[in-house]
Amino acid sequence: MNNKSKIDKEIATIANPSKQKKINPLTWIPSLYLGEALPFTAVSLVSIIMFKEFGLTDEQITLYTGWLGLPWIIKPIWSPIIDNIKTKRWWILSMQFLLGIMLALVAFTIPTPFWLQGSLAIFMIVAFASATHDISADGFYIIGLKDKEQEFYVGLRNTFYRIGMIIGQGGLVMLAGWLQKSVFNGDNGVSLSWSAIFLILGGMMALLGLYHAFTLPKVEETTHESFNFRVQVKEFAETLKVFATKPNIISSLCFILLFRLPEGLLTKVVPLFLTRSTAEGGLALSKEDFGLVSGTLGVIGLLLGGIVGGWAVSKWSLKKCLWPLVLCITLPDVVYVYLSYFPTDNLYVIGSCLCVEQIGYGLGFAAYTLFLVSFSRGERSTAVFSICTAGQYLGGVMLPGMISGKISTSVGYPMFFNIVMLFCLVTFAVTAAVYKNYKKDF
């Protein structure tokens, strides 16, 4: 099937109501991005708290969990397979059931003597399956919704993605603390409580797979092409060509790679800072308190930011909202500078700081996501979007996350958060380059 015929087929499928089952996007967008967030959270965030409890240092934790981000970087290599074999709906369902099985397997590995090697190996499989799920889900979002619908629902999509992260980082971590104190309070309490958490995560992914089997609309025709390595290499090369010849590619690539740099430095260190003892420079929150502030005020802030951000972009366009939303995503990072210099055990103060930061994140990330969606529209949209998300993960999550623990250990938490604020200038610089080059609305 040539490239033009594939594009024509996607457009015809979306445009022809007889080929679609009319399903309200509200029935599948929230759950789809919840399912995208949960395995990612398990690998990159929940594992941070678990590894800390098992005695690993900040530097070890950020390095190990950083390497687990590799599949999200190289996922464009196999994105043409998802474009050409089966449908994105089929891939979504298959990966959700596979993720359910693999997350449950982590539970049986934790109590063993080889828990570190075993859990890291399974986490890597989870990461590859999750990255594949991301390609499918993002492609499904692009071809299953019209342009204005993509803009309208971007806030909802990002909100539920972040809610999935907070369910893991907040609710499940809090549950792990409660299990250790109330149920598994013996010598093996830590390992048994975390085993229970990963069994729950596995069950959640399996239930999402069952739910989506009935609610995901069929927006594509099944393809029957067999796998051919030479063809896939050619497909990937063609996708790179399409990506590289996009208008204003240099400024856009810098924006994609570096916009999330301050967030990438914060993501892995903040949970450690909040839960480390005061002697280690942290705020000494228990798992229950950490989960509480992340899962209540954090969720409220995220909901407000994500919904308002999506609404604002839909109403006034990305170009008009870009700078205000960029300021929103960077300036709230100063709350961690405040907490590191003026530590407190007051949950209301800590929770309010997290709420402010999450409001800013929700607002700013709505603009960033819509930029990626807008940039990817056109030829080979799904594969191009996967390159964009790989790039933003490389420059905005994986690489800064891997070195963040070493930096925080070397200079201490207060200076580390000052460095993060300094790197907000990078976000401003790449935003200015994109804004200058794009004369028309995105």
Residue 334 belongs to some domain of the structure:
yes
**Is residue 85 domain-resident?**
yes
In tens, the pLDDT along 95-123 reads 999 999 999 999 999 999 899 999 999 99
pLDDT at 237: 85
Residue 9 lies in a domain: no
Please, which residues bridge with residue 201 across strands?
none
CA neighbor of 208 nearest in space, from 152, 141, 137, 144: 137
CA distances from 130 to 62, 136, 368 (A): 19, 10, 21
Residue 442, domain member (yes or no): no
| pLDDT at residue 76, rounded to an integer | 78
Q: In whole angstroms, give the CA distance from residue 95 to residue 92.
A: 5
pLDDT at 1 over 70: no
**Is 7 within the bounds of a domain?**
no
Higher pLDDT among residues 415 and 374, named by residue = 415
Given a contact cutoff of 8 angstroms between Cβ atoms, the answer to whether 300 and 244 are in contact is: no
Q: Is residue 352 part of a domain?
A: yes
Tell me the CATH number at 186. 1.20.1250.20
Q: Which pLDDT score, from 0 to 100, does residue 15 have?
A: 41
Average pLDDT over residues 6-27: 54
Is it the case that residue 224 has pLDDT exceeding 60?
no
Top pLDDT among 227 and 405 is at 405
Domain containing 355: what range?
A: 23-220+230-437
DSSP 329-366: HHGGGHHHHHHHHS----HHHHHHHHHHHHHHHHHHHH
Quickly count: other Cβ atoms within 10 Å of residue 182's Cβ. 10
Q: Three-class SS string for 315-328?
A: HHCHHHHHHHHHHH
In the chain, the number of structural domains is 1
Percent of the chain with pLDDT over 70: 92
* Structure confidence by residue, pLDDT tens digits, 121-144: 999 999 999 999 998 998 888 888
Residue 210 placed within a domain: yes
N-to-C CA span, the chain: 31
Local structure of 85: helix, strand or coil: strand
Segment among 37-41, 84-88, 409-413 with least mean pLDDT = 84-88
Q: What is the pLDDT of residue 34?
A: 93
pLDDT for residue 245 is more than 50: yes
The confidence score (pLDDT) of residue 13 equals 44
Structure confidence by residue, pLDDT tens digits, 45-72: 889 989 999 989 999 999 999 899 899 8
Asked if residue 179 belongs to a domain, the reply is: yes
Tens digits of per-residue pLDDT, 175-200?
998 898 888 877 788 899 999 999 99
Position 143, amino acid: I
DSSP state of 438: -
